[in-house]
Amino acid sequence: MEETIAYIIIRNVGANGPDTRTPPSTKTAIERRLLEMNDRRGSEIFEPVVGTDFDSCQEAYGFYNLYSWEHGFGIRRGRSRVNTNKYKLMHELVCQCAGKNDKENSSSCKIDCKAMVRLLRTKNHGWYVSMFVKEHNHRLSVGYDAKLQWNSHDFIDPVSFDFIKNLRSNNVSVGKVYSILCGAEWNSQAVPYRKQVLRTLCAKFSQDTIKDDLKKTMKLLQDMKMEDMNLKVEIGVDVECRVRTMLWVTGKNRQDYFHFGDVITFDTTYKTNLYNMPFALFVGVNNHFQSVIFGGALMREETEAAFNWLFKTFVALMNDKHPVTILTDQASAMKGAIEIALPNTKHRWCKWHVLRDVKGNIGHVYNKSSGFKKEFNKLVNDVMCVDEFESKWLSLVDRFSVSDNEYMVRLYDKRAMWAKPYFKGIFCAGMTSTQRSESANHMLKEEHTEVIPHARVCSPIQQIPRVKDER
């Protein structure tokens, strides 16, 4: 083992003041090092060399933790020193193997490693590296899984923290956030924390903002009510009085439903906001076969009880007019709710969902250039006779060896819910797919992309009145 080398400098320190530098730097130490990366070729990017300065101990911890990730060891907080004013003057960040193990046969990793960073105060209440001990007395971890064993690698540095928070506030899903981080670091093994840590952080963001967002949502609805006295809003709560479902219909929605509400599609495929709440649309067509929106809802959960409340409440707001036909996705919870809340309404599945789910369940066949996709689409769209459908279905599943596929068997058993030959006598107003709901979602998502930074829940509520009939 090479002799330990310590780099030491001395600066004046203040005797009293705040915990962090005032005013803070315009860029963090991590940001400065990243900007200097091209000029530091051949040297460590995040090496905490003597003289490196930080706004706070927390910033220094994040910086040293990135260095420890690159080299394969963990860190923890060590000794600190305060003066008579309880103003911290010195703080040490040490290797997780620092210190001596007092207990025999313990699983502790302490083996008196001397690697550390010592921080002292600057005159403007920041911190700087006064000592950096680089060498360890143990082997360093090699490989992604081994590095994750160190507790400090559950820490997310402030730069990443702000980046993640900004992505989530703009409705980017947790999975996509992680993919973006992996892309920024070139691969997932360069991201110095587990995906579960990211999920926990994102859940905290949601909890921190949801109460404020709900208040602003209610304020938005009140403002809309001032402009549209026929606006109706209903809120469903659970046993703990937490918002479970929010339904709203405008005066224009109710007027359109009175004239054109015989057939509706109900679609919950659009996850719209920070809380991953499904945004549901009730959509129909007018006498010009143009899409019209009958109402919108935000749902915290997609259970039979939630759907039952939603459908009953929707019909009540529409003067108890039940639709003749409702087209939905394949959710079993929705099926049970419709049987209870809309007992006289014919329920069928949207063609768009069937085509999407087939691709998701037998993609190994669907995506090949074998012709399955073309044949299946023809079966769904063109076949009108029951006997022809039965014959072509058997031929299709045998030819592509999917006759024993669990999903295809289940889909066939439910063929009366989606196959065109079984729709005879059922009025659908030409809406046998979710193209109407998809079109309205597209308008909300692409053409009206104003994001309310302080009220993610509000965004679709505010956008709905602005969605125009297709021309």
What are 113-159's pLDDT values in tens digits? 999 999 999 888 899 999 999 999 988 877 555 555 677 766 666 66
Please say if the pLDDT value at position 195 is more than 70: no
The answer to whether the beta carbons of residues 28 and 157 sit under 8 Å apart is no
The H or E element containing residue 248 is strand 243-249
Beta strand segments in 258-403, E: 263-271, 278-285, 291-299, 325-328, 346-349
Nearest alpha-carbon partner for 317 in 234, 243, 261, 221:
234
Q: If you count them, how many residues does the chain have?
A: 471
Please say if the pLDDT value at position 208 is more than 80: no
Per-position DSSP letters for 371-390, written without gaps between them: SHHHHHHHHHHT---HHHHH
Q: What is the mean pLDDT of residues 13-29?
A: 78
Vertex 210 angle, CA 206 and 216, to 5°: 140
Please say if the pLDDT value at position 433 is more than 90: no
Respond yes or no on whether the N-terminal peptide bond of residue 23 is cis (omega within 30° of 0): yes
Residues paired with residue 32 on neighbouring β-strands, in sequence order: none
Using DSSP's 3-state secondary structure scheme, residue 40 falls into helix
Please say if the pLDDT value at position 314 is more than 90: yes
Q: Is the pTM of this model over 0.85?
A: no
The answer to whether the beta carbons of residues 386 and 415 sit under 8 Å apart is no
Residues paired with residue 270 on neighbouring β-strands, in sequence order: 279
CA 361 to chain centre: 23
Q: What is the mean pLDDT of residues 38-56?
A: 79
Please tell me the distance from the alpha carbon of residue 177 to that of residue 187, in angstroms, as a whole number: 13
- Please tell me the predicted confidence (pLDDT) of residue 326: 93
CA atoms within 13 A of residue 293's CA, in its CB half-sphere: 27
The answer to whether the beta carbons of residues 260 and 287 sit under 8 Å apart is yes
- Please tell me the predicted confidence (pLDDT) of residue 104: 63
- Please tell me the predicted confidence (pLDDT) of residue 129: 95
What single letter denotes the amino acid at residue 46? Answer: F
What are 333-360's pLDDT values in tens digits? 899 999 999 999 999 888 877 888 888 8
What are 74-120's pLDDT values in tens digits? 899 999 998 888 889 999 999 989 988 776 656 677 888 999 999 99
Q: What is the mean pLDDT of residues 35-44?
A: 66
Q: Percentage of the chain surpassing pLDDT 70?
A: 70
The H or E element containing residue 235 is strand 232-237
Other beta carbons less than 10 A from residue 216's beta carbon: 17
The answer to whether the beta carbons of residues 432 and 350 sit under 8 Å apart is yes
Beta strand segments in 66-217, E: 75-82, 88-95, 116-121, 127-133
**Whole-angstrom distance between the N-terminal and C-terminal Cα of the chain?**
77
Please tell me the distance from the alpha carbon of residue 246 to that of residue 242, in angstroms, as a whole number: 11
Residues paired with residue 127 on neighbouring β-strands, in sequence order: 54, 121
Burial 174-193, CB ≥16 within 10 A → b, else e: beebbeebeeeeeeeeebbb
What are 360-404's pLDDT values in tens digits? 888 778 776 678 888 888 888 887 899 999 999 999 999 898 989
DSSP symbol at 447: I
Structure tokens at 49: 């060399």
- Please tell me the predicted confidence (pLDDT) of residue 271: 59
- Please tell me the predicted confidence (pLDDT) of residue 468: 47
